[in-house]
Amino acid sequence: MLAGFAAIWVVTLVGYLIGRFELLGPSGPTVLARLVFFVAAPALLLTTLARSSPGEVFTPALAAFVLSTVLTAGAYLAITLLAHRGRDRPDTGTLTVGTLAASYVNAGNLGIPVAAYVLGDVSFIAPVLLFQTMLAAPLGLAVLDVTTGGRRPSPRALAVLPLRSPLTLASAVGITVAATGWRPPDEVLRPFDLVASAAVPLALLALGMSLPGSRPFQAGPDGRSRYTAVVLKAVGQPLLAYLIGRHALGLDGPALLAAVVTAALPTAQNIFVFASRYDRAVTLARDTIVLTTLAAAATLVLIAAWLG
């Protein structure tokens, strides 16, 4: 496991150097991230899930992750509201971005490589992606749309929102194939396997290339909210996943490790996209992503050493 993490962080460091010296040009990080998001990662999820069974995907580890996510989100809201007590209270849009930053994990660029190299099975990350893209993201975007746009989104718009994610579509197709009991011939999946083999290295390079130029420790009005989100994301959420998984659900071994590791993943870069789209807490989202990604380099290794 430690060797797997070493490989992950070395490739991420290579991505950082590529971005630092702009070897692929100013648009390189965006192009590479889009290639992972729209092509390589969906192929990996599709081939992995098509060869699995539904029982291997929807496990008690997912329940521990979901409960820890909900409790972490609630903790951020409670702490932030108590800290302000009616004075300079953040608006609902800012609270929503902060809540997502404290609980919405990077299941794509980092979660897929961690599942592949550390957990040994990419199917561990698929239900996390489905939960976030089909429930957490639509709910957060609905609140942002209502509070910043002054209009109520239609049920149809919310229903089709998850369908815009190729990761969700690929996961749904793979799970459907697995549920039928049919195993596609290797000749059919071989082109997908070839593309899928690029998902992990490209995702790590894209993650590293996104880090240069950040100044997450600069003072600002979001300082208290920033560090609240970072502590909850890096420490609170994985701790809750462990307590729920171990003592409430009786998990141990690989299932407990999967629940805690997925909860310990850093804040997803999607949150910066959401914040930018609605012009709410953009700096908070960006700084939380960078700080939790740096913290994950240590916390994920410690978790693996502890539970592995």
pLDDT of amino acid 162: 66
> What's the confidence (pLDDT) of residue 161?
64
The mean pLDDT value for 77-88 works out to 82
| Whole-number percent of the chain with pLDDT over 90 | 35
Q: What is the pLDDT of residue 150?
A: 59
Q: What is the pTM of this model?
A: 0.81
Q: Is the pLDDT of residue 281 over 90?
A: no
Check residue 64 and give its pLDDT: 96
Q: Give me the pLDDT at residue 219, please.
A: 65
pLDDT of 80 over the 80 cut: yes
CA 189/CA 183 separation, integer angstroms: 10
CA torsion angle 159 161 162 164 (round to 10): 140
Identity at 44, one-letter amino acid code: L
**Residue 122 has what pLDDT?**
83
CA 274 – CA 296 distance, rounded (Å): 22
Taking only the tens place, the pLDDT of each residue in 219-265 is 666 778 889 999 999 999 999 999 999 999 999 999 999 999 999 99
Residue 292 banded pLDDT, cuts 50, 70, 90: very high
Rounded mean pLDDT of 12-41?
89
Highest mean pLDDT among 28-32, 170-174, 228-232: 228-232
Mean pLDDT over 195-201 rounds to: 90
- pLDDT above 90 (res 190): yes
Q: 270 with 93: CB under 8 angstroms?
A: no
What pLDDT shows up at residue 87? 66
pLDDT digit string, tens, across residues 51-63: 887 777 678 899 9
Domains of the chain: 2-307 (1.20.1530.20)
Residues across the chain: 308
Give the pLDDT of residue 152: 62
- Mean of all residue pLDDT scores within the chain: 86
150's torsion region: left (phi>0), alpha (psi -120 to 50) or beta? left
Could you tell me what percent of the chain has a pLDDT over 70? 92
